[in-house]
Structure 1
Amino acid sequence: MLLETPRLRLRRFTPADVPVFTAYRSHPDVARYQSWTAPVSAEDAAALVARYGAEDPEGPGWFQYAVDRKAAPGLIGDVAVHLHDNGMQADVGYTFAPEHQGHGYATEALRALLRDLFERRGLHRVSAVCDARNLRSARLLERVGFVREGLRPQFTWLKGEWTDDLLYGLLAERWRRTGATG
């Protein structure tokens, strides 16, 4: 186990995750604000899961955590971190199966990841970007302590249209004051 919370385990992906990963990444509501297009083939999902399972959680670049509930093991979503080469900054993202949204799992998983990044690894800053139409994602970022730092109008070409990006940031100092208590 890489990270744990009272209800969740954040771990490496395994081949057993492919069917559930394929299902939630193929759901149109889940893919709506993401860079991929639904449906995701089982072959593509298997390749992603294999790549995610081989990544280094401590090194620069992206690492994708599989998220399980302790009470009923099985993949419910994933959270990702992109550690910058300087080792002091990171970007985060998250995706959860529709049936596991609205239960606080994303909040709990993201807080666990931020706690690890700020408290164990000593990062200075964590950033996130979300589609401005994705109000639930924006509320999640704000709930765990991120501050909205900007809006990039019509910045991203996504699925045949220009979309606005919301930019969020969280400094270690703010995490110590606010996020760590959540």
Structure 2
Amino acid sequence: MLTGSDFPERVETPRLAVRRFVDADAPRVLSILSRLDVIRWLDNPPFVPMADLDAARAWVVRVNAREAEDPLQAWRALEVRETGVMAGTVLVSRMERIDGGFVGEYELGWHLHPDSAGHGYATEGAAAHARSAFAAGHASLVIGMYPDNAPSAAVARRLGAEDLGEVPDDPWYGGVSRHFTLRPEHLDATEVRE
């Protein structure tokens, strides 16, 4: 079992810095999480856009604190090294079941600002963060999404994740979801641009 977080503060790939969030990220967090075209993929309805900069600052504090609460989870900003623009988020998050139970499952997830989509940043950042998660002690990660989230399914496939298909009663979010599982050997067997 981990004591403290074994996730690195910062990992660099050829194009990205996968790093802890800082307060200066709050305006970009607001720009991302106030968009219905982004948040509609992230949780269950009703989808409530982030309200203001204070809410974004509180979000940054909250996601950084999650690591102290459970060192097997970590949320990181994806920063484009060439421009310094925070493109989005990659995360390994504890998965609480709808019934309130927790059986040791963790999710690999990501979301980007639409102006940063289509460049391979989600795949590159998720691969780097998954490698950090496996080095920190995870044996596998769940990747869950709405069944019609084709862009995220494509990222999961590029990572080499095993497609488990549609699950009619998602134990974490309810309803129908599409699930993938990612293990270290999947990344090792896949050519992921980093």
TM-score by length of 2: 0.77
Instruction: Look up the SS of the partner of 2:164 in the other structure.
Output: strand
Question: How has the CA–CA distance of structure 1 residues 115 and 155 changed in structure 2, closer, same or farther, with 3 Å as cutoff?
Answer: closer
Question: Matched residues in 2 for 1:106 and 1:59: separation?
Answer: 24
Matched, 1:151 2:163: no
How far, CA to CA, are the matches of 1:106 and 1:57 in structure 2?
25
Q: 1:93 maps to which residue? A: 109
Structure 1 stretch displaced more, 67-76 or 166-175:
166-175
| Match runs of 1:73-84 below 5 Å | 73-82=84-93
Per the alignment, in what secondary structure is the counterpart of residue 73 of structure 1? coil
Deviating above 4 A after TM superposition, structure 1's stretches of 4 or more consecutive aligned residues are 179-182
The separation in 1 between residues aligned to 2:89 and 2:121, in whole angstroms, is 10
Q: Tell me whether 1:72 sits opposite 2:83 in the alignment.
A: yes
Matches within 5 A, 1:9-158: 9-35=17-43, 37-42=47-52, 43-56=54-67, 59-60=70-71, 62-82=73-93, 90-118=106-134, 120-153=135-168, 155=170
Task: Answer 1 or 2: which has greater strand percent.
Answer: 1
- Preserved CA contact (<8 Å) 2:159 2:186: no
Greater RCO, 1 or 2 (C-alpha within 8 Å, sep 6+): 2
Q: 1:146·1:169 contact (CA, 8 Å) conserved in 2?
A: yes
* Distance apart, 1:2 and its partner CA: 1.5
Deviations 1:56-86 (A, max 9, x none): 37953532101111111131100010268xx
Is the deviation greater in 143-152 or in 50-59?
50-59
Q: How many residues align?
A: 175
Cα distance change of structure 1 residues 147 and 58 upon mapping to structure 2, 3 Å threshold: farther
Alpha carbons 1:27, 1:38 under 8 Å: kept? no
**Alpha-carbon distance change, 57 to 10 in structure 1, aligned in 2, over 3 angstroms:** farther
Three-state SS of the structure 2 residue aligned to 1:56 is helix
8 Å contact from structure 1 (residues 12, 52) kept in 2 = no
Unaligned runs of 5+ in 2: 1-8, 96-103
Among all aligned residue pairs of Structure 1 and Structure 2, give the percentage whose two residues are the same amino acid.
29
